[in-house]
Chains A and B, each alone.
Chain A
Amino acid sequence: MAAIGAGAERQLSFGEMIRDAAAVALVALGLALPLVGFQTVDRGAGMILETRFGAMFYAVGVIFVGRFVLGLIDAGRGRPILAASGAFSAAWVLNAIFDVAPPIEHVTLGWLTWLVAMTIALRAWFVLRRGARPAGRDGTRAGALPAVWLERVGRLVVPAALTFAVVMPFLPFADQRLVDLGILVLTYTMLGWGLNVVVGLAGLLDLGYVAFYAVGAYSYALISINLGLNFWETLPFAGAVAAFFGVALGFPVLRLRGDYLAIVTLGFGEMIRLILLNWDDLSNGAKGIGDIPRPSFFGLQFTAAPREGVAAFHEYFDLDFSPIHRVIYLYYIILILALLTNWFTLRIRKLPIGRAWEALREDEIACRALGINPTTTKLTAFAIGATFGGFAGSFFATRQGFISPESFNFIESAIILAIVVLGGMGSQLGVVVASVVLIGGPEWFRDLGTFRMVAFGALMVAVMIWRPQGLLAHRDPTVRLPAAPGRPP
């Protein structure tokens, strides 16, 4: 089978294309025979094996035609194919909407046909566009959106997204489930922003970020329960404890880089979890810590029946009690915390220490030659990243009211890192987009039932193919020139 993707180097002849398509169809046949060709049906009196050869041959036929047409596109016949496949898929959708005539009985096969037509149309479009562009694309920045375009979009999208985030809980369609999802997305956004300091800016691959999340959550729980402090009073302490652990992790790994650093941080994340699991006296082990004080609104409790002498939120504001009040309040707390993280990161990037982080990511040896102390630079990155992780952990503890080591598995670290990488390392906006996609996505896909994780996986693969550097792989310069003559402002 000749690779279609490499077809630009050598044109396939007509016969070769047919042979190539036939070979692909043969493979498809081999796969489809057991998967599509046979079906077990429960007929009351036990399972019966039915054959579906019609559907199978239809699918194989579609694959044969599709592969052949892809070959034609690479052979330079893109224009008519784009027109044909585009028209076909449009007609298919219109037909499905207005229900003119069901073209094929089997619904899944119908959509498969449509998907193939769409893929062909997209492919033809990409190939045509690439052909139209002058040769010599900037190889170093392949996949990065043009900075100007991104800036223009950013100027519109950021205020719009911010406004949406602020008014979201009061929009008519916002039910408790949606606000809860918003809280989740914002929590991961904040964690992503925190980890972005370490991974995105300082370039230190940290696979154990959840450790600081855990440390923050447990410090919050223990301090607020034992000392009776409220949420805002406890927060700085929890952050400080997390920062301390950040430095404690930082010291032994100062000399490590890349894969080695990743392995050690991974181990650190597991260590914290195992300590919490086994140190019963401190953390209550696997049973976890419950009854963590809920946040109050300037002393007003969010409960239906407050204790004697304590005002409840709904009484004070003369509202009917509703559990959504607390959810909305929590939503705003995490929104403020997340925005604080973002603001802090954006500011610090412009300060010498933030610059030093980025320079350290680029080239450690050059940094030494410029008089940067790599030790303190790395440690501050770990400490600040950990602090934000600790804040997020505190929030998690107060939101759940119950924490146990189970909430701080490696998979959490992986998700947070995935958010940073998917968004484009170092990109603040990218983290938001990625956490909406990664955290919100699986929730929205719930309607797809069993196909939920498949859709999710397909999305990840699509990102890997088309945006391998992350969704928004763009680094904003920290200084700009005042519009120089001869340069567009």
Chain B
Amino acid sequence: MLVVEGVHTFYGHIEALKGVDLEVKPGEIVTLIGANGAGKSTLLMTVCGTPQAQSGRIVFDGQDITRLPTHQIMRSGIAQAPEGRRIFPRMTLLENLQMGALAADPAHFSEDLERVFAFFPILKERQTQRGGTLSGGEQQMLTIARSLMSRPRLLLLDEPSLGLAPMIVRQIFKIIREINERTGTTILLVEQNAYHALRLAHRGYVMVTGAITLTGSGAELLANREVRAAYLEGGH
């Protein structure tokens, strides 16, 4: 579904991605784990087109999207829940969701709204509240809910567990699994919380300083000694 081939991305002179290959098959949850600054988020952003890849190819559903502008990529069936819960703080929750549906057919707006509220019942109660007054966990849920409003085939999640209480993290990961199982949405998940991410994902990639070093099924990676040593020991 999504194929990333030999992608190099630069920030100025700094090479953030050094020839990354990655594949996501339809219906999968694939996770990308790695330490701070490994280039996980950069890879996700490169798929979205900001920054654009210097070389290599990104193909989504058979279409080469490497050189497309961001807003066109985001309208081709990919949705992204950006890092750090980028909701619109002064707009109400409902308006935030409407913004998510901007790229979608308005005819099935209410249907999508119900579907999203089924995943996140708490958001239904908070519809009229301003985004900025929601709690951190609710904001993260809103970010995911908003990205679902465009009926994406591929959902990119950037660190959904960032800065959240362990209980909320578990809840959010459970919902991510539900989304994948019930709607068949393919998910590419970038996470620092390796334990939760690998337990959830069908397959995983490990990234170190701009390159993929290891790949395998979620369970394999969880059992892998290096992964355990680098990302899991010391608690989850």
A477 contacts partner chain B, Cβ-Cβ < 8 Å: yes
Nearest to B76 among chain A residues (CB) is: A371
A307 contacts partner chain B, Cβ-Cβ < 8 Å: no
Q: Contact between B102 and A355 (Cβ–Cβ < 8 Å)? A: yes
Q: Contact between B88 and A362 (Cβ–Cβ < 8 Å)? A: yes
Q: Give residues 359-382 of A contacting B (CB, 8 Å).
A: 359, 362-363, 365-374
Q: How far is the CA of A481 from the CA of B123 in the complex (A)?
A: 14
Q: How far is the CA of A478 from the CA of B90 in the complex (A)?
A: 12
Q: Contact between B74 and A363 (Cβ–Cβ < 8 Å)? A: no
Q: Contact between B94 and A479 (Cβ–Cβ < 8 Å)? A: yes
A339 to chain B, nearest CB (A): 26
Q: How far is the CA of A139 from the CA of B81 in the complex (A)?
A: 27
B135 to chain A, nearest CB (A): 12
A445 to chain B, nearest CB (A): 34
Q: Contact between B94 and A355 (Cβ–Cβ < 8 Å)? A: no
Q: How far is the CA of A365 from the CA of B49 in the complex (A)?
A: 12
A35 to chain B, nearest CB (A): 46
Knowing A140-B132, A365-B82, A480-B128, the reply to whether A355 touches B71 (Cβ < 8 A) is no
Q: How far is the CA of A336 from the CA of B98 in the complex (A)?
A: 32
Q: Contact between B91 and A477 (Cβ–Cβ < 8 Å)? A: yes
A347 contacts partner chain B, Cβ-Cβ < 8 Å: no
Q: Could you say which residues of chain A place their CB within 8 Å of the CB of B133?
A: 138, 140-141
Q: How many residues of B contact A (CB 8 A)?
A: 33
Q: Contact between B71 and A372 (Cβ–Cβ < 8 Å)? A: yes
Q: How far is the CA of A423 from the CA of B93 in the complex (A)?
A: 25
Q: Could you say which residues of chain A place their CB within 8 Å of the CB of B127?
A: 481
Q: Contact between A372 and B95 (Cβ–Cβ < 8 Å)? A: no
A107 to chain B, nearest CB (A): 49
A356 contacts partner chain B, Cβ-Cβ < 8 Å: yes
B132 to chain A, nearest CB (A): 6
Q: Could you say which residues of chain B place their CB within 8 Å of the CB of A480?
A: 128
Q: Could you say which residues of chain A place their CB within 8 Å of the CB of B150?
A: 370-371
B37 contacts partner chain A, Cβ-Cβ < 8 Å: no
A475 contacts partner chain B, Cβ-Cβ < 8 Å: yes
Q: How far is the CA of A367 from the CA of B91 in the complex (A)?
A: 13
Q: Contact between A366 and B91 (Cβ–Cβ < 8 Å)? A: no
Q: Could you say which residues of chain B place their CB within 8 Å of the CB of A54?
A: none
Q: How far is the CA of A432 from the CA of B150 in the complex (A)?
A: 38
Q: Contact between B82 and A359 (Cβ–Cβ < 8 Å)? A: no
Could you give, for residues 406-430 of chain A, a 1 whenever the CB lies within 8 Å of some chain B CB and a 0 otherwise? 0000000000000000000000000
Q: Could you say which residues of chain A place their CB within 8 Å of the CB of B50?
A: 368
A206 contacts partner chain B, Cβ-Cβ < 8 Å: no
A358 contacts partner chain B, Cβ-Cβ < 8 Å: yes
B31 contacts partner chain A, Cβ-Cβ < 8 Å: no
Q: Give residues 468-485 of A contacting B (CB, 8 Å).
A: 475, 477-481
Nearest to A373 among chain B residues (CB) is: B71
Q: Could you say which residues of chain B place their CB within 8 Å of the CB of A355?
A: 95, 98-99, 102
Q: Contact between B82 and A369 (Cβ–Cβ < 8 Å)? A: yes
A159 contacts partner chain B, Cβ-Cβ < 8 Å: no
A361 to chain B, nearest CB (A): 8
Among the interface residues B69, B86, B87, B99, which one has the most CB atoms of the partner chain A within 10 A? B99
Partner of A477, one of B48, B94, B100: B94
B148 to chain A, nearest CB (A): 12
Q: Contact between B102 and A352 (Cβ–Cβ < 8 Å)? A: yes
Q: How far is the CA of A363 from the CA of B86 in the complex (A)?
A: 7
Q: Contact between B102 and A356 (Cβ–Cβ < 8 Å)? A: yes
Partner of A371, one of B74, B81, B128, B132: B74
Q: Contact between B102 and A372 (Cβ–Cβ < 8 Å)? A: yes
B163 contacts partner chain A, Cβ-Cβ < 8 Å: no
Q: Could you say which residues of chain A place their CB within 8 Å of the CB of B87?
A: 363, 366
B75 contacts partner chain A, Cβ-Cβ < 8 Å: yes
Q: How far is the CA of A362 from the CA of B86 in the complex (A)?
A: 9
Q: Contact between B74 and A370 (Cβ–Cβ < 8 Å)? A: yes
Q: Could you say which residues of chain B place their CB within 8 Å of the CB of A362?
A: 88-91
Q: Contact between B95 and A477 (Cβ–Cβ < 8 Å)? A: yes
Q: Contact between B69 and A481 (Cβ–Cβ < 8 Å)? A: no
Knowing A477-B95, A481-B127, the reply to whether A370 touches B103 (Cβ < 8 A) is yes
Q: Contact between B128 and A366 (Cβ–Cβ < 8 Å)? A: no
Q: Could you say which residues of chain B place their CB within 8 Å of the CB of A359?
A: 88, 91, 99
Among the interface residues A365, A371, A487, which one has the most CB atoms of the partner chain B within 10 A? A371
Q: How far is the CA of A374 from the CA of B88 in the complex (A)?
A: 15
B185 contacts partner chain A, Cβ-Cβ < 8 Å: no
Q: Could you say which residues of chain A place their CB within 8 Å of the CB of B82?
A: 365-366, 369
A144 to chain B, nearest CB (A): 10
Q: Contact between B70 and A366 (Cβ–Cβ < 8 Å)? A: no
Q: Contact between B94 and A358 (Cβ–Cβ < 8 Å)? A: no
Q: Contact between A368 and B132 (Cβ–Cβ < 8 Å)? A: no
Q: B residues near A, CB below 8 A?
A: 48, 50, 69-72, 74-75, 79-82, 86-92, 94-95, 98-100, 102-103, 127-128, 132-133, 146-147, 150
Q: List 9 A-B contacts (CB under 8 A).
A: A359-B91, A362-B91, A365-B86, A366-B87, A368-B70, A371-B75, A475-B90, A475-B91, A477-B94
Q: A residues near B, CB below 8 A?
A: 138, 140-141, 352, 355-356, 358-359, 362-363, 365-374, 475, 477-481, 487
* Apart from the given pairs A358-B91, A477-B91, 5 other A-B contacts in the complex at a CB distance below 8 Å: A352-B102, A368-B48, A368-B50, A370-B103, A373-B69
